[in-house]
Amino acid sequence: MKSLCIKTNNTDILNYLLERIKSIDFENITYSKNKFKIYENVIIHYQGKNILEFYDFVCSLLQEVVIQFYEEKLIEQLINYNYFYFDEYEKDKIAENCINLKDSEEYKILVDNKEYIKNKIKDYIIENKTIILDGYVYFRLQDYTKCLDNLVDTAVNQFVIEKEYTEFINLLRIYVESRLPEFSMLHLIYNKGESILLDSQKNVVSVSDNIYNAKYLSDISFSSNDYALNTLLTLLPEKIEIHLIDEEDEFINTIKLIFEDRVSICRDCNICKTYRLLNNARIIH
The pLDDT value recorded for residue 19 is 94
CA distances from 185 to 51, 202, 230, 259 (A): 76, 10, 16, 13
| Alpha carbons 104 and 106: distance in angstroms, whole number | 5
Q: What is the pLDDT of residue 26?
A: 82
Evaluate whether 69 touches 134 at the Cβ level (below 8 Å). no
Alpha helices in the chain (DSSP H): 11-23, 51-65, 71-82, 88-101, 105-110, 113-127, 133-140, 142-178, 224-235, 250-259, 270-284
Look at residue 276 in the predicted model and tell me its pLDDT: 86
Which residues make Cβ contacts (< 8 Å) with residue 39, sequence separation at least 6? 7, 8, 9, 132
The pLDDT assigned to 191 comes to: 87
Label the pairing between strands 194-199 and 183-191: antiparallel
Taking 50 as the pLDDT cut, the residues of the chain under it are: 209-212, 214-221
How high is the pLDDT of residue 88? 95
Per-residue pLDDT tens digits for 99-114: 888 777 666 655 566 7
The pLDDT assigned to 217 comes to 47
pLDDT of residue 221: 46
d(CA 66, CA 70): 5
